[in-house]
Chain A
Amino acid sequence: MAEGQDKTDLSVRVPDNERSGTSVDRLDLAASATTAPPAISPSLNTATSVTAVNLGQVESARTRSGLIHADDNSLRPVATHVVPNVSHPVDAIPLIEEEMILPNPLVKYEYRPMEDGQGSEAPEPHHQSQQVIYINAPERNHSEINITCTSKYNFLTFLPKFLFEQFRKYANIFFLFISLIQQIPNVSPTGRYTTAFPLLLILMVSALKEIIEDFKRHRADDEINNRKAHVHRGDKWVTVKWVDVVAGDLVKICNGGFFPADLILLSSSEPQAMCYVETSNLDGETNLKLRQGHRVTKDLLRGEELASLRGMVECEAPNRHLYEFVGNIHLEGQSAVPLGPNQLLLRGAMLRNTGWVFGIVVYTGLHTKLMLNSTSTPLKRSNVEKLTNTQILLLFVLLVVLSLVCAVANSVWSGRHAHNDWYLFFDVEAESNFGLTLLTFIILYNNLIPISLQVTLEVVKFIQAIFINWDLDMYYAPTDTAAMARTSNLNEELGQIEYIFSDKTGTLTQNIMDFRKCSIAGICYGNNEESKDAFNDPTMMYNLHSQHVTADTIREFMVLLAVCHTVVPEIHHDTGEIVYLSSSPDEAALVQAARQLGFVFTTRTPETVEIEVFGKKEVYEILNVIEFSSDRKRMSVVVRCPDGKIKLYVKGADSVVYERLEETQLYSDITLQHLEEFASLGLRTLCIAKVDIPEDVYEEWKHTYYKASTSIHDREKKIEEAAELIERNLVLLGATAIEDKLQDGVPETILKLSMADIKLWVLTGDKQETAINIGYSCQLLTQNMELIILNERSLDETREALVKRKADFGDALGKVNDVGLIIDGEALRHALSCDCRKDFLDIALSCKSVICCRVSPLQKAEIVDLVKNAQKAITLAIGDGANDVGMIQAAHVGVGISGLEGLQAAHSSDYAIGQFRFLQKLLLVHGAWSYSRLSKLILYSFYKNICLYVIEFWFQIVNGFSGQILFERWSISLYNVIFTVAPPLAMGLFDRFCSAETMMKNPALYKDSQKGRLFNVKVFWVWIGNSIIHSILLFWMPMLMLTQDVAFSSGLVGDYLFLGNFVYTYVVVTVCLKAGLETNAWTWLTHLAIWGSIVSWFLFLVVYSNVYPLVRLSPEMVGMDRYMLGCWLFWLGLLLIPSACLLRDFSWKVFKGTYFKSTRQRVQEVELAKKESVINGSPRKKSSRLITERARLLSSTLFGRAGRVPSSSPPVPPSPEIPHGYAFSQEEFGAVPQAEYIRAYDTNKDKPEGL
């Protein structure tokens, strides 16, 4: 769309004293647009079609007002009220354009401006991509129910859905098939219901688990759906549940509240219907965003006014683009006016720094942009599970082969015996059918595939997940959040993580800025002990009050902090307490600091700023505000001081400020040193400077600046040039250092994780400076680390840079080098394109740390996908906002930070934890434990089943491959349901090879699970081999023992089941003892499981032998208890045979444990050896906090500078110089420019109540 390129020209506003007064509408455009009716659809269609093609880019496109307002208020008095101008209803028409990070010419489009005259015709809601909402008439609106629904089932759908889910699993289909063929007469060797029954039992357990899990989801949904919203209905305010909010409702949201649906902002407690929203939940950006209601609605400040409001809102059909919206509001008796994203308040965002807002609900429920952006959580399956499934398939092949062999052998045997063995009845009955025989054997061996494995796994994982929820170490008291495993099928995956992709804001950082240190006139303050948590340096106060040589500078410095900003103070009515409202947390922190030091910013009027210096009021007239932008990297104000002098106050990045200093500076070197020191601590620094401006110079400049700010062409450039004229010959006052507060324990956690060979990538929507800064403060980057910064703007440049960097690495490529890679979203987009992808990945994998900044949610997911697919590594994504949802869902494991407002990420995550540092426990302990437990459980489940069922095969050899079973049919059925179900459960739940503390202290232990050493194809088949050996011993030894049949001194003989029960008992005992042998930690529950299982079999034997004829079940068991337990052979065998079986396992374990000790065994031994000393002596007091502090200082400050000298190897290209610790977050190109925003305020006036 060609018009887009002219936007600046067209949208320039004539300097005006009335904010919404005369403005130049894009008349030419409007005129041209009239030729293309229907008015709205063409541009819309274009927009949507482009969107479809270029979804990726549009996703990340940011909005920006097309209008650039002249900062001309210094010249004219600002109107105290706003005169609505009906003839020019178009004000601040938003233009959507992608922000500079993605300047794709294809995706330029804009809203079609609304022209006068035409707006009076109510547009027909004929177009499909449009929807109409009638204000105050909810009954006329078709509203999507405003419900959050993450649950899977309801009463009616449960059974069909559940069965469908269950029978999608191969194993269940298989067992269903077995149950069915067991119904064919004369085929089953084990009766008709011996598979159906356990299957039913297992399905019931699964169903129970599903019900419990879904119940939880229902409760979580209800919690959200039942939140309260204030809705204006029937002339009064009523409180309704979120779920009852419908389109067309007028709602009121108070400060700190979430928007229950997507709303059109009508009016707010702030001037000009402005309000702040925090969207970090949606896009991950930290600064607050300004939204402004339309002029025609901004005066709707009272309930009565709302009640009489009639009209309609037209808007585009719901779509998932967060930064796009087009619509019209058509109030009765007025012409329609356009609405854009600046009027849209999205569900998921939160109202901040604003008393209240009124809004009309437009999109509800699934139509909200938040919901449209959330895809259903994909079904994730863990690596171990996949491997298990492959092995199951192999076992299935084995089963079929075994059955085939037996069936063939059966035919051969029958052929030989059919006409001779008169006692059988081959001559009477037809020759047996090969197919049926095969089925018989398949039924016989079906449990080579453990029927109970699936359900045991599910139960164990479910309980493991509960253990995660119960973990006190992962409970975050301030927000009362415990860890929550939202899915239980990825527990073991947590033990195999190789890459972590982390969001920054809210995850690594708290998004709280704290003023920590400053350097004034070459003296550094804030290094003292008292300032450890908050700035509190009495020296400064002393210097200020004691006529110290720097006293004046200190004063000037503090005044600057209190004056040079765009913060608006709000005085609380009752307490008189001042709350500072700012879109930039950095500025708020500075003003806050000034207040604490006695320079209290109290009042802002359109022209002045009032501060109280130690109780004395001073008024500074704000002449000009030259805004902050990321190109300028500074902001300045021109003020007239109380003494009448004109001064320019500047704060900005050291690089830009130092360039503009006057030549002779007293403390520039020492300040620079302080800056470096601050930066090395990971603090965000700003340089503070001022310059006195003579009256005549100012008068002259004022006009230049005015011209620049009203120019039609290249306004930005001209303003910048004009600013350059005055922002020079600066006098350096000092520097500030703000801490972007990290979450607790972040550097330690990162260190621990890196010791466990887990690589951490930070993916943030924030700016490069901020990201690098955090990189340093959380020790992801260190001072002696080379940085590779990629922020190329085009594909070719990016490709070139990548190739060059790759070449620079040389041999070091592919190894982990002490290099940090910082890549910008724009460069990343190119780097992720097909032909660069490989190079980018090669470089990224060769770097120790990778930070991607300004990345869109989609890019986050793309990066995760890239690493996931190219590296075949297990990935974890952690984040707290809706912008992280993509990567959370893309990664193998998604972790959400819960507790604070960000629920969206937590809802789509697999695990939700309160703090980043809990990741340590989650991975190093729960992950590693779950992995090793489940590995054992799975291996053991296969082992025990194969052990029992291969015995059936050995028995076939002696019974003519007839398919006869050696055991009683229900005994085998209960094998997996009762007798051997507890040991794997105990193994899966309570086994641990060393304590949680030891696991945490030795991250190296994680590598065992990470590298999958405990469960892989080799390990699996070794176990299978072992179980076959056991089955041989377990069958042939009792058989030889009973070969003469006479087992009693009374001369009685047994039968096949007598031998069978011998064997069965030995199997149960051996298998349980094997579980014991594999168990590292025997808790009382483990004891109960192992001994209890053995006892349960004996109990069963006794009971079951006596039920006939009371219950017509298994007469063949009659008397077994009495004769077996009274048989000496049995007991002698019981002593001998299990020990003979396990002798090999036992000695191998001893041998390995003694001569090929693995790390974990060593640690285990050391731990046990230390246990007693720990019990005896008091445990060592930890002083990790201090150590950390010192470590940081030592590692960064002392030899930080030395490290900056490029080291000889590896040969890494020098990185571009970046300013020291500079980072500043503020919304740029927002709905209302900051300079204008502050002019709208007069804090002496009362705000409307909004009732």
Chain B
Amino acid sequence: MATNGNGDISQDSVEEKPKSRKPKDTKFKQQKLPAWQPILTANTVLPALFAIGIAFIPLGVALLVTSNNIKELVYDYTHCNSSTTSGTCAEFFQNTSQTGETCTCVVTLTLDEDFTGSVYMYYGLTNFYQNHRRYVRSRDDNQLHGDVISYSDLNDDCDPYKTVSDNGTTMGIAPCGAIANSLFNDTFALVYQGSPNEAVGLLNTGIAWVSDKNVKFGNPSDWQKSTYTKPPNWKIPVWNLSLTEESNNGYKNEDLIVWMRTSALPTFRKLYRRINHNGTTFSNGLPKGDYQVTISYHYPVTAFEGTKSIILTTTSWLGGKNPFLGIAYLVVGSLCIVLGVVFLVIHLKWGKRHQETELELFKAPQYEVDPLVQVVTLHDRAM
């Protein structure tokens, strides 16, 4: 037979490997893994849309209410009148020769209602780009962690606040970098104008992230005071930040730690103090009335058209006052409801027609009958 000659080769090639090349019949290999195949049509998603809408709207309302219950007082003191010099403190600092000196403002804040619960005191800055790339990088985390390093090993990003040269001697800056150098240094004292006047206790601890205070920031075993100096804008070196409280001194100073967490936006607020609710007058928060704030005004902001404010606020479980989330929930929830209604209307109005076509589809031979049969029938018709 002419066509019967390949017996030899197949033997040849098979002799050494009797293993069959037949693929395994597993669901995975044959791509037949069982699968969930959700089909999204108006009918199936209608309940889901309504459910989401019905869940989101009350949630939104609740969030909005929560946010609205938060008491907040914001006082912009950028242009406060100086109590020590004439004019405003802002004007005082426009004279750059006076940078570093103190200007004091005394302002009165009026709480229209009681601030019940824990009250927090913030300072807020605007148009301050703490999120600028160079600014964000301008720090040395190892230094802040308390590692003993020589100033030449400081992070280069700290430049130009890495080292200072004074009369030929170079000294490292502790802490180095622009962030630390621009530490917010206004201070506030708060006195309740009641009968009698009572100073509000302000707690300067517990205002930073616990992890920062415990893990990220630490004091070195040796301050290397001979080779390190304070940042140019500072008045005192870092190891003297809090002489009274060793746990709040140096890099572990919470004001520093708070400042070192650079904000996301050019308008931001940072926690300044917690109100001390021990004692009788302020145990339930701040009662309504006038409060006198004595501001040690050091920090120039008008140069960059910024403002600074003092903020007193209570918090909720959501944090500060912010209606956005509540509104967003309401909007998304409503959208779901609207979409649901639209789909429902379309479904009721036009759904029937579609069902009909679907029924036809079931009858269509294309999906029911082997195509070969179909061809025969086509031929029949052609005849």
Residues of A within 8 A of B (CB): 185-186, 189, 223, 227-228, 254-258, 278, 288, 350, 352-353, 417, 420-425, 428-429, 440, 467, 469-473, 475, 477, 479-482, 511-513, 579-585, 588, 592, 748, 751-752, 755, 900-901, 929, 955, 958-960, 962-964, 966, 990, 992, 995-996, 1001-1004, 1037, 1039-1056, 1058-1060, 1080-1086, 1105, 1108-1109, 1112, 1115-1116, 1118-1119, 1122-1123, 1127-1129, 1132-1133, 1136, 1139-1140, 1143, 1146-1147, 1149-1151, 1153-1155, 1157, 1161-1166, 1168-1169, 1182, 1184, 1187-1188, 1190-1191, 1194-1195, 1199, 1202
Q: Are the CB atoms of B315 and A1048 closer together than 8 Å?
A: yes
Q: Among A472, A1115, A1122, which residue has its beta carbon within 8 angstroms of that of B216?
A: A1115
Q: Are the CB atoms of B358 and A1165 closer together than 8 Å?
A: yes
**Known contacts A1041-B325, A1051-B207, A1080-B37: A424-B134 contact under CB 8 Å:** yes
When distances are taken between beta carbons in the complex, the residues of chain A under 8 Å from B375 are 751, 1191, 1195
Q: Within 8 Å of chain A (Cβ to Cβ): is B193?
A: no
Q: Within 8 Å of chain A (Cβ to Cβ): is B54?
A: no
**A–B Cβ pairs within 8 angstroms, 6 of them:** A254-B8, A350-B9, A960-B131, A1082-B35, A1155-B350, A1191-B375
Q: Among B33, B268, B370, which residue has its beta carbon within 8 angstroms of that of A1084?
A: B33
Q: How far is the CB of B361 from chain A (nearest CB, A)?
A: 6
**Known contacts A428-B160, A1050-B315: A964-B41 contact under CB 8 Å:** no
When distances are taken between beta carbons in the complex, the residues of chain A under 8 Å from B4 are 579
Q: Within 8 Å of chain A (Cβ to Cβ): is B129?
A: yes
Q: Among A423, A580, A1044, A1143, which residue has its beta carbon within 8 angstroms of that of B182?
A: A423
- Complex Cα distance A1133/B325, Å? 8
For B29, the closest partner residue in chain A by CB is A470
Q: Among B23, B122, B141, B324, which residue has its beta carbon within 8 angstroms of that of A1046?
A: B122
| 4 more CB-based (< 8 A) A-B contacts, given A185-B156, A1119-B216, A1187-B372 | A424-B178, A480-B21, A901-B6, A1149-B40
Tally of A-B Cβ pairs under 8 angstroms: 367
Q: How far is the CB of A922 from chain B (nearest CB, A)?
A: 13
- Complex Cα distance A1046/B67, Å? 12
Q: Among B22, B35, B216, B343, which residue has its beta carbon within 8 angstroms of that of A1086?
A: B35
Q: Are the CB atoms of B376 and A1049 closer together than 8 Å?
A: no
Q: Within 8 Å of chain A (Cβ to Cβ): is B135?
A: yes
For B2, the closest partner residue in chain A by CB is A588
Q: Among B2, B13, B370, which residue has its beta carbon within 8 angstroms of that of A583?
A: B2
- Complex Cα distance A1001/B211, Å? 62
- Complex Cα distance A1080/B13, Å? 43
When distances are taken between beta carbons in the complex, the residues of chain B under 8 Å from A1168 are 37, 39
- Complex Cα distance A1055/B42, Å? 43
Q: Among A580, A1123, A1190, which residue has its beta carbon within 8 angstroms of that of B209?
A: A1123
Q: Among A353, A990, A1154, which residue has its beta carbon within 8 angstroms of that of B35?
A: A990
**Known contacts A470-B29, A1046-B122, A1056-B262: A1051-B274 contact under CB 8 Å:** yes
- Complex Cα distance A1123/B213, Å? 14
When distances are taken between beta carbons in the complex, the residues of chain A under 8 Å from B132 are 424, 959-960, 962, 964
Q: Are the CB atoms of A580 and B1 closer together than 8 Å?
A: yes
Q: How far is the CB of B347 from chain A (nearest CB, A)?
A: 7
Q: Among A256, A1055, A1080, A1154, which residue has its beta carbon within 8 angstroms of that of B261?
A: A1055
Q: Are the CB atoms of B2 and A582 closer together than 8 Å?
A: yes
Q: Which of A227, A1123, A1162 has the most CB of B within 10 A?
A: A1162
Q: Which of A479, A929, A966, A1105 has the most CB of B within 10 A?
A: A479
Q: Within 8 Å of chain A (Cβ to Cβ): is B336?
A: yes
When distances are taken between beta carbons in the complex, the residues of chain B under 8 Å from A1195 are 375-376, 379
For A352, the closest partner residue in chain B by CB is B5
Q: Are the CB atoms of B136 and A1003 closer together than 8 Å?
A: no
For A1121, the closest partner residue in chain B by CB is B211
Q: Are the CB atoms of B40 and A964 closer together than 8 Å?
A: no
Q: Among B128, B159, B367, which residue has its beta carbon within 8 angstroms of that of A423?
A: B128
Q: Are the CB atoms of B372 and A751 closer together than 8 Å?
A: yes
- Complex Cα distance A367/B207, Å? 83
- Complex Cα distance A579/B129, Å? 95
**Known contacts A256-B5, A477-B22, A1115-B141: A1128-B261 contact under CB 8 Å:** no
**Known contacts A1043-B322, A1052-B207: A585-B37 contact under CB 8 Å:** no
**Known contacts A257-B8, A423-B135, A960-B132: A1108-B376 contact under CB 8 Å:** no
Q: Are the CB atoms of B262 and A472 closer together than 8 Å?
A: no
Q: How far is the CB of A1174 from chain B (nearest CB, A)?
A: 12
Q: Are the CB atoms of A962 and B211 closer together than 8 Å?
A: no
**Known contacts A256-B7, A584-B2, A1119-B212: A1166-B325 contact under CB 8 Å:** no
Q: Are the CB atoms of A511 and B262 closer together than 8 Å?
A: no
Q: Are the CB atoms of B118 and A1051 closer together than 8 Å?
A: yes
Q: Return the 9 tightest CB-CB contacts between A and B, nearest first.
A: A1119-B211, A1046-B320, A1081-B35, A1051-B120, A423-B182, A1055-B261, A256-B8, A964-B133, A962-B133
Q: Within 8 Å of chain A (Cβ to Cβ): is B20?
A: yes
Q: Are the CB atoms of A1143 and B339 closer together than 8 Å?
A: yes
Q: Are the CB atoms of B160 and A255 closer together than 8 Å?
A: no
When each residue 194-225 of chain B gets 1 if its CB lies under 8 Å from chain A and 0 otherwise, what string results? 00000000000011111110011000000000
Q: Among B31, B43, B45, B373, which residue has its beta carbon within 8 angstroms of that of A1187?
A: B373
Q: Are the CB atoms of B161 and A1043 closer together than 8 Å?
A: no
When distances are taken between beta carbons in the complex, the residues of chain A under 8 Å from B304 are 417, 420-423
Q: How far is the CB of B365 from chain A (nearest CB, A)?
A: 11
When distances are taken between beta carbons in the complex, the residues of chain B under 8 Å from A1058 are 261, 264
Q: Are the CB atoms of A959 and B133 closer together than 8 Å?
A: yes
For A1082, the closest partner residue in chain B by CB is B36
Residues of B within 8 A of A (CB): 1-10, 12-14, 20-25, 29-43, 45, 49, 52, 56, 59, 63, 118, 120, 122, 128-136, 138, 141-142, 144-145, 156-157, 159-161, 178, 181-182, 206-212, 215-216, 258, 261-271, 274, 300, 303-305, 313, 315-322, 324-325, 328-329, 332, 335-336, 339, 343, 346-347, 350, 354, 358, 361-362, 366-367, 370-373, 375-376, 379, 383
**Known contacts A959-B129, A1044-B321, A1147-B339: A1109-B178 contact under CB 8 Å:** no
Q: How far is the CB of A1190 from chain B (nearest CB, A)?
A: 7
Q: How far is the CB of A447 from chain B (nearest CB, A)?
A: 18
When distances are taken between beta carbons in the complex, the residues of chain B under 8 Å from A1054 are 261, 264
**Known contacts A421-B304, A1129-B325: A471-B370 contact under CB 8 Å:** no
Q: Are the CB atoms of B10 and A479 closer together than 8 Å?
A: yes
Q: Among A353, A417, A963, A1136, which residue has its beta carbon within 8 angstroms of that of B5?
A: A353
- Complex Cα distance A308/B50, Å? 97
Q: Are the CB atoms of A255 and B5 closer together than 8 Å?
A: yes
Q: Are the CB atoms of B300 and A257 closer together than 8 Å?
A: no
Q: Among A440, A480, A1194, which residue has its beta carbon within 8 angstroms of that of B379?
A: A1194
Q: Are the CB atoms of A1150 and B372 closer together than 8 Å?
A: no
**Known contacts A423-B128, A479-B10, A996-B31: A1150-B45 contact under CB 8 Å:** yes
Q: Are the CB atoms of A1004 and B366 closer together than 8 Å?
A: yes
- Complex Cα distance A283/B167, Å? 93
Q: Which of B120, B319, B373 has the most CB of A within 10 A?
A: B319
Q: Are the CB atoms of B40 and A1146 closer together than 8 Å?
A: yes
**Known contacts A417-B129, A420-B304, A472-B23: A1046-B313 contact under CB 8 Å:** yes
**Known contacts A258-B9, A423-B135, A964-B131: A1129-B318 contact under CB 8 Å:** yes
Q: How far is the CB of B91 from chain A (nearest CB, A)?
A: 16
When distances are taken between beta carbons in the complex, the residues of chain B under 8 Å from A1085 are 33
- Complex Cα distance A1202/B265, Å? 84
Q: Which of B329, B354, B361, B366 has the most CB of A within 10 A?
A: B366
When distances are taken between beta carbons in the complex, the residues of chain B under 8 Å from A995 are 32
- Complex Cα distance A440/B137, Å? 14
When distances are taken between beta carbons in the complex, the residues of chain A under 8 Å from B206 are 1050
When distances are taken between beta carbons in the complex, the residues of chain B under 8 Å from A581 are 2
Q: Are the CB atoms of A1041 and B324 closer together than 8 Å?
A: yes
Q: How far is the CB of A1205 from chain B (nearest CB, A)?
A: 13
Q: How far is the CB of B282 from chain A (nearest CB, A)?
A: 15
For B303, the closest partner residue in chain A by CB is A420
**Known contacts A1051-B120, A1188-B372, A1194-B376: A962-B134 contact under CB 8 Å:** yes
